[in-house]
Structure 1
Amino acid sequence: MPRAKQRTPELREQLLTAAVDLLARDGVAGFTARTIATQAGTSTPALYELFGDKGGLVRAVYFEGFRLLRGHLGQAPQTADPRADLLAVMHAYRGWMLEHRVLAEIMFARPFTDFDPGPDELKSSATLRIFIVDLVQRCVDAGVVRGDATDIAHVVVALVQGMAAAEAARRLGGHPESVQRRWDLALDSVLNGLAPAG
């Protein structure tokens, strides 16, 4: 008697976890439906039934990336020093991007031609964006920086993403001390440049 098909939420999570793990191990080139299904202990038809096609799986991975990143950044402790809190979160952002390079590439560089984020996908980053804007707003309210919190958040996040990409490509230097010095210079320069005059 053939085994009953079980297209369960648990199987969907297994496939999603397998996809994220496979990306980390083999990169975009190894991201095939058959390999992911095998790693999750199921069949390619089951994967297609749950996600529609490879683009649907990439879409799910995209959402999962933002969920994981938001959860990671939320672990940073909140103190009475809004500038230190913002820097701590940006350093956590850096660490996450370096640890999840291929996942970050899907989220921010979009290497798959069969996936182009639409309005629903772009909304998935809203909780992350709100979290960072709120951190910056604390800095504005405390007089640490001046300007629009949303504008500043975009600049700081773009800086972190660019610096993390440069670090991953070993363009920030070969010694941890020099890499850290350049990170500190970049973040301090932005925040000091936005500090109120006097």
Structure 2
Amino acid sequence: MSPRKLDMHLRAKLLDIAARLLAEEGPQAITARRVADEAGISTMPVYTYFGGMSGLVREVVYEGFARMQHHFTLVRRTDDPVSDMALLGRAYRRNALANPHLYATMFGGSSLAGLQLSEEDRQYGRYTLAGVVECAGRCIAAGRFREADEYLIAHQMWSATHGLVNLELGGYLVAPYDAEVCFEAQLVGLMVGAGDSVEDARRSVERSRERQESELRQIP
């Protein structure tokens, strides 16, 4: 295939294939030939787009965070910042469920085919928290959260939601305490833990649930 005919759809397809192989079969499955065969193309696009396998794997991580950031940008800023914060949590979860193979490789570890993420790579992921930090600041300014470091609040929201999503993707959350039940309770608990009242937190979380179908849309 001529490089002139390459497009962003093919690039995204190669990233999805690499992420799936990493998540399902491990780093030994990641070769230029295997990825190209799965895509039904020659190996040339792997090198054209990514410069080789290490570049491909690094771009898998970046693509995962880019899709997460896209979901975050769908959340409108309203006069109820706690509802906005809860909806950011819903966006995080929805992205993970829509892109499970990418999500499984976003945070490094042994699954990255020998690629060691640098501090710069990890900072790329941290940048996606900027909107969560800003929202935490608005929650504090509105008197809904107690005075605290908004960066710490954002990290607490991130780590708690990340843990629940990992359990959900692993199939560990089942009835009567399935992922939906645990997630809704967790959202309220996180807002209360940050300083909101139980009644106000419940109202805002419910408002975020009502907003999600109109504001959050899955991406490929």
- What's the TM-score once normalised by structure 2's chain length? 0.75
Aligned length: 191
Task: State the shift of 1:113 in Å.
Answer: 3.8
Specify the code of the residue in structure 2 equivalent to 1:140.
I
Aligned mates of 1:15, 1:117 — CA distance in 2: 25
Q: Find the residue that maps to 2:154 and give its secondary structure.
A: helix
Residues 22 and 31, structure 1, Cα contact 8 Å, conserved in 2: no
Partner of 1:89: 88
CA deviation profile, 1:4-39 (whole Å, cap 9, x unmatched): x53x6x737355312233256554425442233245
In 2, the alpha carbon distance for the partners of 1:188 and 1:181 equals 11
Q: Cα deviations across residues 175-196 of structure 1 (Å, max 9, x unaligned)?
A: 6x84322112222222212216
> 1:18·1:40 contact (CA, 8 Å) conserved in 2?
yes
- Check the 8 A contact 2:133/2:150 in 1, yes or no: yes
Higher-RCO chain (CA-CA 8 Å, sequence separation at least 6): 2
3-state SS of paired residue (1:47): helix
Equivalent residue letter for 2:68: L
Q: Does residue 18 of structure 1 match 2:13?
A: yes
Q: 1:161 and 1:190 mapped to 2: Cα distance?
A: 13
Matched AA of 2:156: V
What does the per-residue CA deviation read over 1:60-83, in whole Å, with 9 as the maximum and x for residues that have no partner?
121111111101121122221000
TM-score (norm 1): 0.82
Decide whether the 8 Å contact of 2:108 with 2:116 is kept in 1: no
Provide the identity percentage: 27
CA contact (8 A) 1:83 1:139 kept: yes
Tell whether the 8 Å contact from 2:14 to 2:35 is kept in structure 1 after alignment.
yes
Q: Which moved more, 1:124-133 or 1:94-103?
A: 124-133
Structure 1: state its 5+ residue gaps.
none
Separation in structure 2 between the aligned mates of residue 46 and residue 113 of structure 1, nearest angstrom:
19
**Cα contact 1:24–1:100 (8 A) shared by 2:** no
Contact 1:19 / 1:61 at 8 angstroms: preserved in 2? no
Q: Distance in 1 between matches of 2:20 and 2:57?
A: 16
Tell me, in whole angstroms, the C-alpha distance in 2 between the residues paired with 1:25 and 1:113.
Answer: 13
Q: CA RMSD in A?
A: 2.6
Q: CA-to-partner distance for each residue in 1:131-183, whole Å, 9 max, x for gaps?
A: 111111111111111211000100111111110111112222236x8432211
Aligned partner of 2:173 in structure 1 is: 172
1:85-117 deviation digits (Å, cap 9, x = unpaired): 100110111111122122111112431142121
Alignment of 1:148-159 (within 5 A): 148-159=149-160
Whether the aligned pair in 2 keeps the contact of 1:62 and 1:107 (CA below 8 Å) is yes
Deviates most, 85-94 or 124-133:
124-133
